[in-house]
Amino acid sequence: MAIELNHTIVPSRDKKSAATFVTELLGLPEPSRFGPFEVVQTANGVSLDFMDTDQVHPQHYAFLLSESEFDEVFGRIRERNLRYWADPAHQREGEINTRDGGRGVYFDSPDGHYLEILTRPYGSGG
């Protein structure tokens, strides 16, 4: 059997608004409800299952996009005046990285999770 990541739980203070933030920004279908979760489905079958909690410990979530999808999502980041960085340490604000011949940016969710969009997987060359 080939092992694949199926889903991960994303702790949030308001699961509905957190899930909606991600779907609107990334251009994904609206979240669906499953039990206590607001579920965001990605194209490769992995879901982000948003759950309400009082304590959010920031996690990192990276999304691999095509070049045209990057342009669309980055446009929405800029339209919302979200701060973004070229690096995970938040040292190069307002810049895009070009690792492996692609493009990438980091930005924060309203709950403080570290979100990243990139067009090439790290280590893929370029």
| pTM, rounded to two decimals | 0.94
Q: How far is CA 59 from CA 10, 69, 114, 116, in A?
A: 8, 23, 6, 11
Q: Kindly give the interhelix angle for 15-26 and 67-79, rounded to the nearest 10 degrees.
A: 130
Tens digits of per-residue pLDDT, 48-106?
999 999 999 999 999 999 999 999 999 999 999 999 999 999 999 999 999 999 999 99
Q: Which domains does the chain have, with CATH numbers?
A: 7-118 (3.10.180.10)
**Comparing C-alpha atoms, which of 125, 126, 105 is closest to residue 25?**
105
